[in-house]
């Protein structure tokens, strides 16, 4: 791209070719496995912790593994994958594979944890491993696709995320209705335990599909790539690269920080307390060891599967709406719908009616998974895509860390352990994020040869 005082030419040099549908499918198929792992965790970990003796106000701090490992691992893996190239294994694929192997092991053993500390430890291993696999996928889209096709690439990821979460969330309910009704020795339903083991296999196989079916292209200028790799090798150089990228952060990325902060704080409230809200507010299950609590947990999984179904149905339709509204306005509208859906749970007492707010939330989720990355990717230099996508993950994990550290006090002292109030706070946060999204300005694509400036 060339910049002048009068016009912007948005073509990037050395753009990759546009990919046909099935190549786009194969390169993103691994996200099906990644989201199978996330979906099982998000729908079931709160209930597993309660089964193992955790108090509700301790759930946020027990969920600290995800954001902390994301904060530490994603920018490091992003910077490392930017500097990686092997003619045989590629740039991003080695990280996909290593993370998948470790995550599958953690998923397999998680629900059979004999004590709370074991489950918490395995969650740290699981989240760290998922982050190793997940971070390079965002940069992978920018590596493989031209600017005009990146939104489609991220939306294909949203499709697989929705599909993977649907399968993960509905599987315990399906297994129970197929007759898997007993409990393990630690109190966790066998339907949940077997679902985690299916998820472990699905995670690994889906990642391997992408690794085996999608070759990676070598850097366009290998001499320049090797020069940059020599200059940025080592931990100190990597830290300097991350610090430099932070200083040169594009203005669009700065604006998205506040949108992401409000969004992911709200999502933390939702994931941490939707299941407990369904059990206590809708089913009236006050005893977490009762069969009614288990049925409520399974139904909450079905509800979360419903929003995932909406996600993968809506995701392919978003580009048509984007062309009319623009990405920031579309994202704002989707966030507002999701926030309104969570707030409406307060008025619902019939389990089946929960599917309506979950449909609204599914629209928001489809946009959350794609629009911020589509907005951002055109403003970043291609050769630093990995490190910037890793830094962008700060915007996701920082609100989760704030939530984990401060919400236990609010839940216990202000909400008096009322799960529904925490869920409603999540809805208000999504409404705030929607308002902030209307203030984001879309950047024109910048050249690979120019720094991102804000």
Q: How far apart are CA 15 and CA 2, in angstroms?
A: 14
Contacts with 320 (C-beta within 8 Å, 6 or more apart), sequence order = none
Q: What is the pLDDT along the chain (454 residues), one digit of tens a residue?
A: 333 333 333 344 567 778 888 998 999 999 899 988 888 887 788 788 888 888 877 777 887 777 777 777 777 787 788 778 887 888 888 898 999 999 999 999 988 898 988 988 888 888 888 888 887 877 787 788 887 787 778 778 878 887 888 888 889 888 988 988 888 888 888 999 999 999 999 999 999 999 999 888 887 778 777 777 776 666 666 667 777 777 777 888 889 999 999 999 999 999 888 988 999 888 988 777 788 888 888 898 889 888 888 887 887 788 778 777 888 999 999 999 999 999 999 999 999 999 999 999 999 998 998 888 888 877 777 666 667 777 787 888 889 889 988 888 898 889 888 889 999 999 999 999 999 999 988 765 544 333 333 3
Per CATH, the number for 21-437 is: 1.20.1250.20
* 3 bridge partner residues: 8
Q: Which two tokens stand for residue 264?
A: 């992911």
The pLDDT value given to residue 449: 32
Domain ranges of the chain: 21-437
N- to C-terminal Cα separation, the chain: 18
271, 293, 291: which is closest to 283 by C-alpha?
293
The pLDDT value given to residue 152: 79
Phi and psi at residue 162, in whole multiples of 5°? Answer: -65, -40
The pLDDT value given to residue 357: 94
Q: How far apart are CA 90 and CA 165, in angstroms?
A: 28
Q: Exposed e or buried b for every residue in 89-113, given b needs 16+ CB within 10 A?
A: ebbbbbbbbebbbbbbbbbbbbbbb
Q: How far apart are CA 293 and CA 40, in angstroms?
A: 18
Q: How far apart are CA 64 and CA 49, in angstroms?
A: 13
**Which residue do the tokens 């092997």 mark?**
86
74, 85, 131: which is closest to 233 by C-alpha?
85
Phi and psi at residue 214, in whole multiples of 5°? Answer: -125, 105
The pLDDT value given to residue 6: 34
The pLDDT value given to residue 219: 77
Q: Exposed e or buried b for every residue in 10-39, given b needs 16+ CB within 10 A?
A: eebeebbeebeeebbbebbbbbbbbbbbbb
């Amino acid at each position: 791209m060339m910049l002048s005082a009068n016009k912007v030419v948005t073509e990037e040099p050395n753009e990759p070719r546009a990919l046909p549908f099935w190549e786009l499918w194969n390169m993103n198929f691994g996200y099906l496995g990644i989201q199978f792992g996330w979906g099982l965790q998000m729908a079931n970990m709160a209930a597993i912790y309660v089964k193992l003796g955790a108090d509700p106000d301790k759930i946020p701090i027990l969920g600290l593994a995800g954001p902390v490992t994301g904060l530490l691992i994603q920018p490091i893996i992003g910077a490392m994958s930017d500097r990686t190239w092997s003619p045989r294994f590629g740039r991003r694929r080695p990280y996909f594979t290593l993370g998948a192997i470790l995550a599958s092991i953690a998923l397999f053993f998680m629900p059979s944890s004999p004590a709370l500390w074991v489950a918490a430890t395995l969650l740290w291993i699981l989240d760290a491993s998922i982050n190793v696999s997940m971070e390079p996928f965002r940069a992978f889209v920018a590596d493989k696709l031209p600017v005009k096709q990146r939104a489609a690439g991220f939306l294909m990821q949203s499709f697989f995320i929705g599909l993977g979460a649907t399968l993960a969330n509905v599987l315990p309910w399906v297994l129970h209705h197929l007759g898997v009704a007993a409990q393990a020795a630690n109190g966790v339903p066998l339907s949940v335990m077997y679902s985690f083991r299916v998820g472990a296999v699905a995670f690994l196989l889906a990642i391997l599909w992408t690794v085996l079916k999608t070759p990676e292209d070598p850097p366009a200028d290998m001499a320049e790539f090797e020069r940059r790799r020599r200059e940025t090798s080592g931990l100190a150089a990597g830290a300097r690269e991350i610090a430099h990228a932070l200083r040169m952060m594009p203005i669009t990325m700065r604006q998205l920080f506040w949108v992401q902060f409000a969004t992911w704080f709200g999502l933390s409230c939702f994931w941490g307390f939707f299941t407990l809200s369904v059990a206590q507010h809708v089913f009236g299950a006050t005893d977490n060891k009762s069969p009614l609590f288990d049925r409520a947990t399974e139904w909450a999984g079905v509800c979360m599967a419903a929003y995932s179904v909406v996600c993968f149905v809506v995701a392919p339709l978003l580009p048509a709406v984007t062309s009319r509204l623009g990405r920031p306005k579309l994202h704002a509208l989707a966030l507002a719908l999701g926030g309104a859906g969570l707030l409406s749970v307060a008025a619902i007492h019939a389990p089946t009616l929960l599917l309506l707010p979950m449909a609204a939330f599914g629209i928001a989720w489809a946009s959350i998974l794609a629009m911020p990355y589509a907005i951002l990717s055109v403003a970043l230099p291609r050769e630093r895509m990995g490190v910037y996508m890793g830094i962008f993950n700060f915007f996701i994990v920082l609100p989760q860390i704030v939530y984990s550290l401060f919400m236990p006090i609010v839940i216990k002292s202000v909400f008096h352990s009322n799960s529904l109030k925490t869920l409603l706070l999540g809805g208000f946060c999504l409404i705030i994020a929607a308002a902030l999204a209307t203030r984001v300005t879309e950047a024109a694509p910048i050249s690979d040869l120019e720094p991102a400036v804000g």
